[in-house]
Amino acid sequence: MLAGKIAFVSGGTGYIGTEICRALTRYGAQVIFSYHANEEKARELVEELKSARAVLLNFRDPRQITGTIETLYKEVNRIDILVNNAGVSQVMPFAMLEEEDVDLAIDINMKGTIFLTKAVVRGMIRNRTGVIISMGSIAGERVLAVPIMYAMTKASISGFTYALAPELKKFGIRVNSVVPGLLEGGVAQGVPEDLKAEFMKHCAAGRAGTAQEVAEVVAFLASDRASYINGQNIHVNGGI
């Protein structure tokens, strides 16, 4: 399904990112993923996937992002698939937010996504082909008791997708996002049990999802099988 494709996945050592890397590799893509702090997990994932490659990336440094991707393009010539997965969440009451907390969420969840996409899309425009998939969250799409900055920055992914898709269509580049609901791991580990129970009560599937289920949707959107899906925010939330 993805044989011969080269994919770049940001935040590849996270709960969802790891499964995305596994799924893309399983379907034939050559995966390059970024990590920030977890060098050991990055090394383990490279060893597991055999053909994968890890690059250190600081999402709060746009110049480093741009330089890293420019260097990468000199080595691989093209990137067919970009998955914007890197992100942070802070469990903190709104009234206690400090400027540095706001800056952290915006720098990584919004600015990092923008500058990584900008760097990668230049090569996609030259090649007149590509797929961009960004990870949103149900936290930015529903009325839920979730961290304010996480919800705000993840909500921005929808607008980013809607606006970028028509701008890049003339270059043969598709842009979509995946919007997970409550999952078994990752940021969901910080969700209180009473809120999890409330979600289950209203979720048509009656359970939390898995990173593997999200990764399968990402892999499909990255493939030519999804060639008529563009400018969409695809919810993977069990029905809520």
For residue 139, being part of any structural domain is answered with yes
150 in active site: yes
Alpha-carbon distance of 54 to 37, in angstroms, equals 12
The whole-chain average pLDDT of the chain stands at: 93
Alpha-carbon distance of 87 to 156, in angstroms, equals 13
What CATH number does the domain containing 71 carry? 3.40.50.720
Quote the domain boundaries for residue 29. 6-235
For residue 240, being part of any structural domain is answered with no
For residue 153, being part of any structural domain is answered with yes
For residue 1, being part of any structural domain is answered with no
For residue 161, being part of any structural domain is answered with yes
pLDDT in tens, 23-54: 999 999 999 999 998 999 999 999 999 989 99
Stretch 195-221: mean pLDDT: 90
Q: Of the candidates 146, 156, 148, 153, which has an alpha carbon nearest to the alpha carbon of residue 181?
A: 146
Q: Give the count of domains, the chain.
A: 1
Least confident of 4-18, 109-123, 143-157, 216-230: 143-157
Q: What percent of the chain has pLDDT over 70?
A: 98
Q: What is the pTM of this model?
A: 0.94
For residue 30, being part of any structural domain is answered with yes
Q: Which residues are CB-contacts of 210 (< 8 A; sequence separation ≥ 6)?
A: 19, 183, 184
Q: Which of 73, 150, 162, 228 is catalytic?
A: 150
With 80 as the cut, is the pLDDT of residue 90 above it? yes
For residue 93, being part of any structural domain is answered with yes
Where residue 201 falls among pLDDT bands split at 50, 70, 90?
confident
Where residue 192 falls among pLDDT bands split at 50, 70, 90?
confident
Classified as helix, coil or strand, 54 is strand
For residue 117, being part of any structural domain is answered with yes
With 70 as the cut, is the pLDDT of residue 187 above it? no
